[in-house]
Chain A
Amino acid sequence: AQSVSQHNHHVILSEAASLELGCNYSYGGTVNLFWYVQYPGQHLQLLLKYFSGDPLVKGIKGFEAEFIKSKFSFNLRKPSVQWSDTAEYFCAVHNDYKLSFGAGTTVTVRA
């Protein structure tokens, strides 16, 4: 069965620091990958997605992610975080009409 692993449970950063969240998946076939974000009190929103093509994908709010097939990874990055980036971040793999999510990483940005 496919699975998604997120390396960090909770990350605490100061504003302007760089952010990188790790995501690894276990699935041998073609994968479609997503990062979703859940801001406090809000619903899940799509940050970015990878279906095919350029392995470096850019999303909303300055986020980007790199798909490295050989490492089964899809890490999320942002060069300079803001207080408003405080949220929970979920990596997900789509297969067989369903999304399989990682456990999520809570990111707290201190002003």
Chain B
Amino acid sequence: KAGVTQTPRYLIKTRGQQVTLSCSPISGHRSVSWYQQTPGQGLQFLFEYFSETQRNKGNFPGRFSGRQFSNSRSEMNVSTLELGDSALYLCASSRMTGASTDTQYFGPGTRLTVL
């Protein structure tokens, strides 16, 4: 079974630009979560989607947004990029069979560098 895939793997942008990252979950997984990983702040939750609905959002400014499509694929967008947005952005998927908790499986991440 293929794992979580994220595209692109690497991205270089300049301040003020916007960026869209893509995530394809494991086949059959319906929940997609996004995390930001930086050396200073560690792993921080961005948002979670299930059946195209955002169920939770982390403490990030409104410049960070996301969506999920009917095939469970997800995108996240960051507008007006700042230097501090440089990070590894991780996507994770889980089956969400109805249990309150399910295991999240992570993709390789997109390394975003803002110059």
Q: Which residues of B contact A (CB under 8 A)?
A: 31, 33, 35, 42-45, 48, 50, 55-56, 58, 90, 92, 100-101, 103-109
CB distance from A12 to the nearest CB of B (A): 19
CB distance from A106 to the nearest CB of B (A): 11
Count, A-B residue pairs, CB within 8 A: 49
CB distance from B77 to the nearest CB of A (A): 19
CA distance A103 to B44 in the complex (A): 10
Q: Which residues of A contact B (CB under 8 A)?
A: 32, 34, 36, 42-46, 49, 51, 90, 92, 94, 96-104
CA distance A101 to B103 in the complex (A): 14
CB distance from A38 to the nearest CB of B (A): 9
| Known interface pairs A97-B31, A97-B55; A51-B42 also in contact (CB < 8 Å) | no
Further 9 A-B residue pairs, CB within 8 A, beyond A97-B56, A99-B43 = A43-B106, A44-B106, A46-B103, A49-B103, A97-B33, A97-B48, A99-B45, A99-B104, A100-B45
